[in-house]
Amino acid sequence: LTNVRQDGGDAGSSEAIAVADESPRYPIRVVCRRTGLKPATLRAWEKRYHVVDPGRTQTDRRLYSESDIRRLSMLQQAIGAGWRIGQVAQLPDGEVEKLLESTPRSRTQPVPLAIASVSERTKVVSPARPSRPELESYLEPIWALDSDTLRRRLEEALLTETRQQVIETVVSPLVEEVGNQWANNSMRPVHEHFATAVIRAFLSSLRNDFNSGNGDHRLIVTTPQGQLHEIGAMIAANVAEDAGWGVTYLGPNLPAEEIALAARQRQARAVVLSIVLCVERAQLEESLHILRRLLPDSIAIVAGGRATADISSTLEEVNAHVPRTLAQYRALLGEWIEPVRST
């Protein structure tokens, strides 16, 4: 609270005015601790939205003032209340304050699609569901159907993080967030389709198609017939390539006979399946049995994805390895690759 008048009297009286120290003096670490923002989010907000204008030390490190911290805390609260950073970043402090006071809990309920026009949806529905602040800069271009910006932001993430980190900390949570917003009608199917298309292209571009593997280092990655969700399989392919495996990626929705043919032809070490949704369970379970029958014992089946829990007994029957997390999957691939390396 800068220049707070304590007596309501003469503005010229220096004793009557309590001036908070507004000099820039807090490093980014302190600001993040006090506001709960991550450093990367704060830098992104500054770069894209100029939310505050910090001072600099002689060695060019950022320094923030009390009022910067206050503003950032309010913006952080607004995001928590479901606003998007693009909607609040340019508002003066007083407006953000009013917004926070007047954001009733009921705003967290989405407006039904049927009665909301597109403009109402971007104004009213988009702040409906709090999303993770660190994903805001990716959700903005999805709302705007702006593929250039979405793609550029994903690529920018690669400048500071490894391919694995970007997949696990950006791509996975982003698709999940899109899926949740789509499921609760906060996002239209067009936005979900658009986001999926750009993310598929991005994951494709990360893949190392030239490494088809040699010796025992070959994997087939796909999804069984009826399983249309492909991003889990693309992630599994990327993770394996990162761990040094040559991957033959077959896309989604493939009959067991075709998968087995590819695995035998490539003399793969394993077939990796992504099973995200338990649709047509009987067909899914049958195709796993067929696959096991058509594969020699030397070719393992690895199955991952959220629906593996629904068919766990079948997966056991076909002797599948079922890593529950990407870390477990990486560990399994590591165990297999080690003996090969040592020969």
- Least Cβ distance, residue 173 to ligand B12 (angstroms): 8
Under rule CB under 6 A, residue 236 binds ligand B12: yes
> Encoding tokens for residue 221?
């990655």
- Residue whose CB is less far from ligand B12, 79 or 178: 178
Among 18, 20, 30, 183, binds ligand B12 (CB under 6 A): 183
Query: Which among 49-57, 117-125, 290-298, 300-308 is the span making contact with ligand B12, rule CB under 6 A?
Result: 300-308
**Angle at 115 (CA atoms; ends 109, 121), nearest 5 degrees:** 60
Under rule CB under 6 A, residue 24 binds ligand B12: no
Q: Across the beta sheet with 270-274, what order do the strands follow?
A: 246-249, 218-222, 270-274, 300-304
> Encoding tokens for residue 207?
């893949």
Among 44, 72, 175, 315, binds ligand B12 (CB under 6 A): 175
- Rounded Cα distance, 116 and 173, in Å: 27
Site string for ligand B12, 241-280 (x = CB under 6 A): -------------------------------x-x-xx-x-
Query: Which among 39-47, 110-118, 223-231, 292-300 is the span making contact with ligand B12, rule CB under 6 A?
Result: 223-231
Report how far apart the first and last C-alpha atoms of the chain are (Å, whole number): 70
Sign of torsion over alpha carbons 280, 285, 288, 294: negative
Among 31, 231, 291, 311, binds ligand B12 (CB under 6 A): 231
Which residues ranging from 198 to 217 are in contact with ligand B12 (CB under 6 A)?
200
Q: HSE (CB half, 13 Å, CA atoms) of 156?
A: 13
Give the DSSP letter string of 80-120.
HTT--HHHHTTS-HHHHHHHHHH--GGGGSPPPGGG--HHH
Tell how far CA 272 is from the center of its chain.
Answer: 22
Under rule CB under 6 A, residue 182 binds ligand B12: yes
The residues that touch ligand B12, with contacts defined as CB under 6 A, are 172, 175-176, 178-180, 182-183, 192, 196, 200, 226-232, 235-236, 272, 274, 276-277, 279, 302, 304-306, 323, 326, 329
